[in-house]
Structure 1
């Protein structure tokens, strides 16, 4: 197809990348720990970890796995927030030739049980705060051979002892647990450091991750992301950001959890290739503590989701931070609202640039030019080596500016869903394009615009209403903190638009919101009902879950 978007590429970005530059993620890792050995790779709760130390600890973890008889290809589960042990275990597992399975630590025992059994994980590393949940799942997960337990303060030296004491005994954040035959993370490092490590030959076809999707369409499925998929996406992202970075000199704020694909590829892996430092935020929901932590550093890059940016912008201390070093801010995971982007530019002096991707695309598929100064509402241009087409319900390509389903093809697109051949077949069309389930269109310059998820579409008297559009308008009201739009059954007329609103102004009324929306929305798009709530349901990265609001 005619790649019209190439004409809109910023200078220096190639039409295609060469994934053969690296045989695997481990090759990228090995290069980086040699080249940037004395640079700080990660900071957590004030503790710095250099690339040399990352090499040492991850090697020890890999050697320990090999000594336990864990073979290449075995699945290793990681159930941790953003602490130093996460990247160590991540790279250690990959170096041992294993496939990493990321677990959200906030999962219920039922969800942990499903994912352990579905993935066939033989090893799981869990932070003690969530060990009670794992304990409840283990009786029904016979495939698990080894359980390793870490602690939040485990790598923080003397300060870590205080942190652990406070979490265990003062804040009571470590529920009682008892997992027979578990091994402490400190023991693994100690033993592994004395063991021989045998490097594993890896190529693009080896599985790097089983990354489970959020389960918005039934039971969560593991997207198979190979070393080739992730290497490709790292190279694609690298070509986009390299003009705004300096090897070994950057610091990226990593508030989104590394077990989420956006943070994993964008922050951890892409910025590792740059020899950058990841400033890990353990609990980004603690906005006050988050702001206090980042104010200590001259950060150059920032990634997040709309709800996180919004929460920061509503914190007075955040506005006092020195943003002079900030070079790029990337928003993804959910639609960035225009009001949020405009406020970010006003407060930081730097644009908030929107990108788009899916778990199934490793994740980046489109990115806006990073030198944009005005928010354009687009999710960006298809990145190097990536093809996008917009199709109707029959799978036929649509003309420019016509709304249809967004389909993606490129070296970063997953191999399929783990042990789900039928679902894998259904998600690809006959040309090998991935069906995203997202509705959007492309303009004459190649920019892609999302209008909404196919399943979130609200149909009012036969007219299509996209929740994002309604939310964008409502969010400009100064009395609204957060908002979500869903469809509610309205008998023969189909549906009506219902808004769920978290108020900034406690006196804000339903009539005021509806009047505000009427100024910028045609009549059938205007909300007919407003429900005020204390908070909106969100997933692990702060994406608002509309499905949990339907029927309320």
Structure 2
């Protein structure tokens, strides 16, 4: 079992803390130096297995490959101030590229493969990478983006290589530099390790810097060389970054796949490779719990099942828990800007709706609209302090000042409260607030009710503007596999369980195959609403009822 965080409360400052964090390794060591040293210590252990490409690499092979890529970068004259771009799936040699950047003290900027062309151009124009690694599937789009923003850079493909492209296999022929050692960081642990992207659920993603700090390590989960890890997250997710770092630091085996997420395949992988550690987003959890294979899958090997990124209904959580051999499903509440997990809930039975207590090294407070700290059971905006340097949003000091105040507290934009036992509860995103006849309410209040329906797999509620009433609630609902569900069932259920007229689904319901999502897998409320309006307007035009 992991170390259970304890919550300490300062009644004078009205601040909760997970206590002091101690470094697992010598504090002067960079993430790259730690991984290099640990891979030297265990060269023959299996580092990675690709379930889709059918490749197996030892830790020695990964380390040599990373040194070859790092040597190639050094040969180009790249320095620690340069940035490497990534737009790639979890393919065999992506780990070598990531570790090469760590070894050289150079941050990579990772973009999601599903980004639209203008988003790719805007993000690349911010960081202007000196070298870009991408899948051949995205080569033409990346090339067009670099030409449009006049970025002179070298593009290397990772899979499905177009004719004439520079391939990762070509780079792996580079002779390793004599007496190769990882670079010492010019700025020490304050230096930027990587640049990820914000979720983009409210607009164009921002380039979020990640600090080269040991706080990114999930030390409280006590991973060992016996553990087998899996996440479908690519390196533009904080979960993907944490997983690839944990694999290098704690000598675990990583199972990877470069396909579109397939819950049935995951069931098979867990059984075949005896996966012990899973880091997953709630949308994939819902897909897993909703697939036919889940009912008979062997999940007995799992000892850590971590999820985060957005809300997950209690029904899905309980379905997952019912198939696990012991209590190991834990929520990890974080924001990319925090550079680590903020809270984790290891007390599901006692506090099933909580996102947990702050971990070591993290302080937390709840503030009102005036910025004043609130006490237990008072609702306000959740703020975190991690005590480490953060370089902010790359190239965007204005947005950095909005999310981080002068005392270095990060303002999450989430509304929540701390209970008397020091457990955090998230109520809603501040920006999701709706008003009906000037009465304030939040869509997740209605989502929580709908999620209780037996035949509902996922739901997204949003407001549709009405000139008289204001924000009328509407819902897009995904039904469970093999069940029957119609819009009227949802309308009736909400009416039966919610008395308030302003919380009724006054703008209607549609049943959909899936919700619209951001590139990072989170439900995109804005895009789901747009899809709802498109469907309902088409039906209205065609004379059909909802």
- Could you tell me how far 1:81 is from its partner in structure 2? 0.7
- 49 and 22 in structure 1: CA distance in 2 versus 1, 3 angstrom threshold: farther
Which consecutive unaligned segments of at least 5 residues does structure 2 have? 10-16, 534-546
Query: Which residue, 311, 314, 325 being the options, matches 1:338?
Result: 314
Q: 1:5 aligns with which of 4, 7, 24?
A: 7
| Partner SS for 2:189 | coil
* Matched residue SS, 2:378: coil
Q: 1:105 to 1:548 in 2, by over 3 A?
A: same
- Of 97, 117, 122, 1:114 maps to 122
The corresponding residue for 1:185 is 168
Aligned residue in 2 for 1:167: none
Are 2:517 and 1:538 equivalent residues in the alignment?
A: yes
Contact kept? 1:32, 1:51, Cα under 8 Å: no
* Alignment partner, residue 147 of structure 1: 155
| TM-score using structure 1 length | 0.86
Aligned to 1:262: 239
Check conservation: 1:377, 1:449, Cα contact below 8 A.
yes
Once the two structures are TM-superposed, the CA of residue 192 in structure 1 deviates from its matched residue by: 4.0
Residue 300 of structure 1: how far off its partner (Å): 0.9
Counterpart position of 1:525 = 503
CA gap of 1:4–1:35, structure 2 versus 1, over 3 A, is: closer
Q: 2:48 aligns with which of 20, 42, 45?
A: 42
Unaligned regions of 5+ residues in structure 1, if any? 8-12, 152-163, 165-173
1:368 pairs, out of 340, 345, 352, with: 345
- Determine which of 381, 387, 402 is the counterpart of 1:426: 402
1:409 paired to 2:413: no
Per the TM alignment, residue 372 of structure 1 is displaced from its structure 2 partner at its CA by 4.2
The 3-state SS of whatever aligns with 1:211 is: strand
Paired with 1:531 and 1:256, the residues of 2 have a C-alpha distance of 29
Deviation at 1:373, TM superposition (A): 4.6
Please state how far the C-alpha of 1:507 moved relative to its aligned partner. 4.6
- Asked if residue 206 in structure 1 is aligned to residue 191 in structure 2, the reply is yes
Query: Quick one: structure 1 residues 85 and 141, their matched pair in 2 at CA, closer, same or farther if it must change by over 3 Å?
Result: farther
What is the correspondence of 1:17-416 to structure 2 with a 5 Å cutoff?
17-19=21-23, 21-45=27-51, 46-151=54-159, 182-193=165-176, 197=180, 199-202=182-185, 203-228=188-213, 231-234=214-217, 237-238=218-219, 240-242=220-222, 245=223, 247-265=224-242, 267-351=243-327, 352-369=329-346, 372-373=348-349, 376-411=352-387, 414-416=390-392
Question: CA separation in 1, counterparts of 2:490 and 2:91?
Answer: 41
Deviations 1:377-402 (A, max 9, x none): 11111111111111111111122112
The answer (yes or no) to whether the contact 2:307–2:330 under 8 Å persists in 1 is yes
Moved more, 489-498 or 78-87: 489-498
Residue 414 of structure 1 and its aligned partner are, at CA, apart by: 2.9
Moved more, 413-422 or 394-403: 413-422
2:19 paired with 1:15:
yes
Alpha-carbon offset, residue 496 of structure 1: 1.8
Comparing 441-450 and 26-35, the one that deviates more: 26-35
Matched-pair contact (CA < 8 Å) for 1:63–1:198: no
RMSD: 2.4
Structure 1 residues 304-313 or 212-221, which shifts more? 212-221
SS in 2 for 1:210: strand
Q: Distance in 2 between matches of 1:349 and 1:491?
A: 53
Following superposition, the deviation at residue 260 of structure 1 comes to 0.9
The equivalent residue for 2:469 is: 493
Runs of 4+ in 1 over 6 A off after TM superposition: none
Query: Is the Cα–Cα contact under 8 Å of residues 73 and 207 in structure 1 kept in the other structure?
Result: no
Q: Could you tell me whether the CA contact under 8 Å between 1:82 and 1:281 is conserved in 2?
A: yes
The separation in 1 between residues aligned to 2:511 and 2:526, in whole angstroms, is 17
Q: In structure 1, what is the Cα distance between the partners aligned to 2:166 and 2:416?
A: 49
| Deviation (angstroms), 1:307 | 1.5
* CA displacement, residues 498-543 of structure 1 (integer Å, 9 cap, x when unaligned): 1111233675232221222234334232322212223211123421
Relative to structure 1, is the Cα distance of residues 57 and 411 closer, same or farther in structure 2, using a 3 angstrom cutoff?
farther
1:444-467 superposed Cα distances (whole Å, 9 cap, x missing partner): 111111111111122233333222
Q: Contact (CA 8 Å) 1:362, 1:412: kept in 2 or not?
A: no
Change (3 A) 1:218 1:514: closer
Evaluate the alpha carbon distance shift between residue 526 and residue 5 of structure 1 in structure 2; reply closer, same or farther with a 3 A threshold.
farther
What's the CA shift string for 1:69-126, capped at 9, x where partnerless? 1122210011111112111100102212211100111223322222221102110001
Deviations 1:116-144 (A, max 9, x none): 21102110001112112212212123334
Contact 2:342 2:384 in 1 (8 A): yes
Rounded to whole Å, the distance in 2 between the matches of 1:322 and 1:70 is 47
* SS at 1:417 equivalent: coil
TM-score, length-normalised on structure 2? 0.87
Give the Cα separation in 2 of the matches to 1:345 and 1:402.
31
Indicate conservation of the 8 Å contact 1:439/1:451, yes or no: yes
